């Protein structure tokens, strides 16, 4: 009888660990593994399937640890590129092909709406003119997918494209945030224009933190090889254009879209919510539980800024100041 009880407890434990991991709560799953070691030993150790599950949980949890450590590190060594509604930092080591950026900005929308912008990646090209041909290549689980996009860059440079594998993690209980970690994807790519140049993501991470009052803080750290010809560094005018014109323009558009999600029934994101209740219902439930722990505070975020003609003029001024060749 005792052996049956031990086996039943063991099975329940692994069912709970798998459920936590499937919902992105890999830190909680790892903690459950650590605390259940005695039960594992009493049951005669881990089966091959359990060993694979344990290794997968610990691998994903280690990725979360590394991303959080970088996001929480001091800003020493980062150059300030932009202050204001969107904060931007830039770093590059001479001789390296990898260029690093760090962005921080608040969006006047709940976590579910902001997360939907990243998850429903194929819709991005409908509101961001600089990201073209956005596609979801595959969705391997509730919180994992591979995506493809092309990025318009000003002449004389050639348009870039990229494909990344994306994994989402719920760290609300442990760190008060949701993480989205992405890296280069091995997915078979769609047939695209031969004129595009492939960018490479060494590693990148987005942290989404629900704020008291209903908004969400977004942070992005990305380490990218822009694939410049001959391994040359990007020209200074291009870096300036990207950090001071392109990125704020995209951020303003993202704020506008995030604030509009769920406002109108015909909003495409509302349709996606209805079509993926398993994911968005879970996010809404977890967000509500977390926000209940936050101190009450009025929403202080300004309304999302819509793209204006002045923004286009700044873009045109930057392009006209660029050299004839790079």
Q: pLDDT by residue (tens digit) across 268-294?
A: 888 888 889 999 999 999 999 999 998
Question: Are 33 and 64 in the same domain?
Answer: yes
Question: Are 253 and 204 in the same domain?
Answer: yes
DSSP class of 244: I
Residue 20 has pLDDT above 90, yes or no: yes
pLDDT band at residue 206 using 50, 70 and 90 as cut-offs:
very high
**What interhelical angle do 277-291 and 268-275 show, nearest 10?**
100
Residue 308 has pLDDT above 70, yes or no: no
For residue 271, the model assigns a pLDDT of 87
Question: CA 1 from chain center: how many Å?
Answer: 49
What is the chain's mean pLDDT, rounded? 82
| 239 located within any domain | yes
Residue 2 has pLDDT above 60, yes or no: no
92: domain CATH number is: 3.30.530.20
Residue 324 has pLDDT above 80, yes or no: no
| 47 located within any domain | no
Task: Encode 104-125: b = buried (16+ Cβ within 10 Å), e = exposed.
Answer: ebbbbbbbbbbbbbbbbbbbbb
| 42 located within any domain | no
Question: Are 84 and 65 in the same domain?
Answer: no
Distance (Å) of CA 160 to CA 100, 150, 194, 197: 17, 6, 11, 5
Q: pTM score, two decimals?
A: 0.84
pLDDT band at residue 213 using 50, 70 and 90 as cut-offs:
confident
User: pLDDT exceeding 90 applies to what percent of the chain?
Assistant: 39
Residue 319 CB neighbour total at 10 angstroms: 13
Better-predicted residue by pLDDT, 154 or 281: 281
Question: Are 102 and 18 in the same domain?
Answer: no
For residue 43, the model assigns a pLDDT of 56
Mean pLDDT within 79-102: 88
**Which residue segment(s) compose the domain that 282 sits in?**
79-321
| Long-range contacts of the stretch 226-234 (C-beta < 8 A, 24+) | 226/99, 226/160, 226/199, 227/160, 227/197, 227/198, 227/199, 227/200, 228/97, 231/97, 233/92, 233/99, 234/99
Better-predicted residue by pLDDT, 167 or 84: 167
Question: Are 67 and 96 in the same domain?
Answer: no
| 326 located within any domain | no
Number of domains in the chain: 2
Question: Are 101 and 29 in the same domain?
Answer: no
Residue 146 has pLDDT above 50, yes or no: yes
Question: Are 97 and 135 in the same domain?
Answer: yes
Distance (Å) of CA 283 to CA 59, 104, 119, 171, 277: 23, 22, 12, 12, 9
Question: Are 13 and 142 in the same domain?
Answer: no
Question: Are 21 and 104 in the same domain?
Answer: no
Residue 131 has pLDDT above 90, yes or no: no
């Amino acid at each position: 009888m005792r052996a049956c009880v031990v086996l039943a407890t063991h099975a329940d434990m692994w069912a709970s660990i798998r459920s936590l991991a499937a919902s992105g709560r890999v830190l909680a799953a790892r903690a459950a593994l650590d605390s259940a070691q005695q039960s594992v030993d009493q049951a005669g150790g881990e089966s091959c399937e359990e060993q694979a599950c344990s290794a997968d949980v610990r691998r994903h949890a280690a990725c979360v640890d590394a991303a959080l450590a970088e996001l929480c590190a001091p800003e020493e060594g980062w150059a300030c590129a932009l202050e204001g509604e969107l904060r931007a930092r830039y770093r590059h080591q001479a001789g390296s092909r990898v260029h690093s950026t760090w962005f921080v900005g608040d969006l006047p929308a709940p976590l579910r709406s902001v997360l939907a912008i990243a998850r429903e990646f194929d819709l991005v090209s409908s509101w961001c003119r600089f990201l073209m041909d956005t596609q979801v290549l595959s969705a391997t689980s509730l919180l994992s997918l591979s995506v493809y996009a092309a990025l318009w860059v000003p002449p004389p440079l050639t348009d870039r494209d990229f494909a990344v594998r994306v994994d989402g993690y719920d760290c609300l209980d442990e760190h008060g945030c949701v993480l989205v970690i992405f890296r280069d994807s091995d997915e078979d790519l769609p047939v695209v224009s031969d004129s595009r140049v492939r960018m490479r993501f060494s590693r990148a991470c987005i942290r989404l933190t629900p704020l008291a009052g209903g908004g969400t803080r977004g942070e992005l750290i990305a380490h990218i090889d822009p694939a410049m010809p001959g391994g040359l560094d990007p020209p200074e005018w291009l870096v300036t254009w990207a950090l001071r014109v392109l990125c704020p323009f995209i951020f303003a558009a993202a704020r506008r879209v995030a604030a509009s999600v769920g406002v109108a029934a015909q909003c495409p994101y509302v349709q996606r919510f209805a079509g993926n209740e398993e994911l968005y219902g879970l996010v809404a439930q977890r967000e509500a539980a977390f926000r209940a722990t936050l101190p009450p505070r009025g929403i202080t975020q300004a309304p999302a800024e819509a793209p204006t003609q002045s923004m286009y003029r700044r873009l045109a001024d930057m392009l006209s100041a660029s050299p004839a060749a790079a």
